[in-house]
Structure 1
Amino acid sequence: MQLAAAAGAHVIGAARGAGKADLVTSLGAARYVDYSLPGWLDQVAEATGGAGVDLVFDGVGGRIGTEAIGALRDGGRASIYGMASGADAELDEDALRARSVELIGLTAAPSPAAARALIADALALAAAGELRPVVGQIRPLEEAADAHRAIESRATVGKSLLRVHR
């Protein structure tokens, strides 16, 4: 989201719960929609003037992912990279093809040299203040089970880190 906004994209951030609105907008979204509320797709349509979105990043899957992919404009693209809901998005691939929607994924890992270059770029952006990692919790390794429970109950945002004491 941060990189897309910095590149000039009009980002509509979608998350669950009003408590995430400030975080999403602070990361560059021009608009926040709460996908747990009825009418969230109407808000997306309003934000795009009814044209639909160009790109969907779906890490949720299930009903939310299916609905988000349905919000794509003809010729749009969707990157499906997770299923936090516990289910895949339901896709009618024939209907998507008829609308020239392209499904892209994270199927190929970069070479070690390319991975190092991406990491170097991300670290340089972070050092310049252009990319801000979001850490929701830091716990000692001994509390890994508690950290997992917090993630599963959606009580944290951002990344969860486990600390090893030496």
Structure 2
Amino acid sequence: MKAWTVERITEDGAMAFTEQPRPAADGDGCVIRVEAAGVNFLDTLMIRGQYQVKPPLPFTPGIEVAGTVVEAGPGSPYREGDRLCALLDHGGFAEYARVPRVGSERIPDDFPMREAVALPIIYPTAHLALRHRANLRAGETVLVHAGAGGVGSAAIQLARHWGARVIATAGGPDKTALCRELGADLVIDYTAEPLVEAVRAATGGAGVDVVVDPVGGKVATDSLRCLAWGGRLVIVGFAGGAIADLPANRLLLKNAAALGVFWGEYRRHHPELIAPLFAELFELRRAGIIKPLIRDVFPLADAPKALEALGARRTVGKVVLVP
């Protein structure tokens, strides 16, 4: 099979597109023929050795896939022909991938594969950020950063569904228009407007109840100034490339909280949440309440181009590779 491999860690994240043996199923896992692989910002870090998870070399990047089972291990609940989406430690940028039992779910027959690959990370992350961590309530105001990105687009749709007022940020007229199409009540173009002043004007000086931040750095620091009394800043990533030093005095003065969401660890620490969460997301998609935003689709052979475009913020929604 064809697969991208990182043979050594380099500053530019060099990968090789090589012929590799197809993985074999064992235990309760299975092997799928990959029909769509998700591209995430953490992939750009992992291939450079800058992510907190550092697979042993050589390794194949890619942590989310959707495809069809071609081989099941002796303890697997799946069978050949089953359609699955799954979250992996690595191995997704390939024609075949070994899939663990924990973190994989059956895809309903009426659910497109390319949409299903958006489910292992961005929608569960947005769901956990808003409901499990921030305890979002109807009538509250949510500020969603990078609203045209993967987690941001999912957070806009879910927050609207749960009765929140949504303020989104995005860069440029095309991305701000896209956020409005997704359901944001107000969109701030961060390339043209100062964030804190725009949020204060939009909320009559009160601030927002919840911030969903996949960007980090100065955006996270400025977000604390946007919080209302009792507000919650939920940190879901560092796509801006910098980790913020949050001033604790602002948390104290506003009785606020800074919370983290690491969806990848939920499958280990709270596996009981996974099946009902996916069942809810499938039903919301079936009802037309959510729809994964997928515009940028690259051939598997163009994985470096996909990673470069994502890192340069030239993409929207979930970026997908297809063999």
Q: Under a length normalisation based on structure 2, what TM-score does the superposition of the two structures give?
A: 0.49
The whole-number CA distance in structure 1 between the counterparts of 2:253 and 2:176 is 35
Residues 1:123 and 1:138: Cα distance change in structure 2 (over 3 Å): same
Q: Which runs of no fewer than 5 residues in structure 2 stay unpaired? A: 1-155
2:192 paired residue number: 37
Q: Please report the RMSD computed on the Cα atoms of aligned residues, expressed in angstroms.
A: 1.5
AA paired with 1:25? R
2:320 is paired with a residue whose SS is strand
The whole-number CA distance in structure 1 between the counterparts of 2:209 and 2:272 is 30
Q: Pairwise mapping of residues 84-163 of structure 1 onto structure 2 (< 5 A)?
A: 84-107=239-262, 108-110=265-267, 111-163=270-322
Tell me whether 110-119 or 66-75 shows the greater mean CA deviation: 110-119
Q: Which of 25, 28, 52 is the matching residue for 2:207?
A: 52
The whole-number CA distance in structure 2 between the counterparts of 1:45 and 1:99 is 15
How many percent of aligned residue pairs carry the same amino acid? 38
Query: Given that residues 35 and 64 in structure 1 are in contact (C-alpha distance below 8 angstroms), is that contact kept between their aligned partners in structure 2?
Result: no
TM-superposed deviation, 1:52: 0.5
The whole-number CA distance in structure 1 between the counterparts of 2:193 and 2:297 is 34
AA paired with 1:142? A
Corresponding residue pairs, total: 164
Pairing 1:20–2:175 present: yes
Query: Given that residues 61 and 88 in structure 1 are in contact (C-alpha distance below 8 angstroms), is that contact kept between their aligned partners in structure 2?
Result: yes
TM-superposed deviation, 1:18: 1.9
1:63 is paired with a residue whose SS is helix
The whole-number CA distance in structure 2 between the counterparts of 1:71 and 1:158 is 25
TM-superposed deviation, 1:21: 1.3
The whole-number CA distance in structure 2 between the counterparts of 1:114 and 1:63 is 32
TM-superposed deviation, 1:37: 2.5
List per-residue Cα deviations over 1:30-79 (Å, max 9, x = no partner).
Answer: 00001222433222111111100100011111112211222001210010
1:69 paired residue number: 224
More helix by share: 1
List per-residue Cα deviations over 1:145-164 (Å, max 9, x = no partner).
Answer: 01001101111100011112
The whole-number CA distance in structure 2 between the counterparts of 1:90 and 1:134 is 32
Q: Under a length normalisation based on structure 1, what TM-score does the superposition of the two structures give?
A: 0.91
The whole-number CA distance in structure 1 between the counterparts of 2:185 and 2:250 is 30
Larger radius of gyration, structure 1 or 2? Answer: 2
The whole-number CA distance in structure 1 between the counterparts of 2:274 and 2:224 is 29
AA paired with 1:124? E
The whole-number CA distance in structure 2 between the counterparts of 1:38 and 1:28 is 20
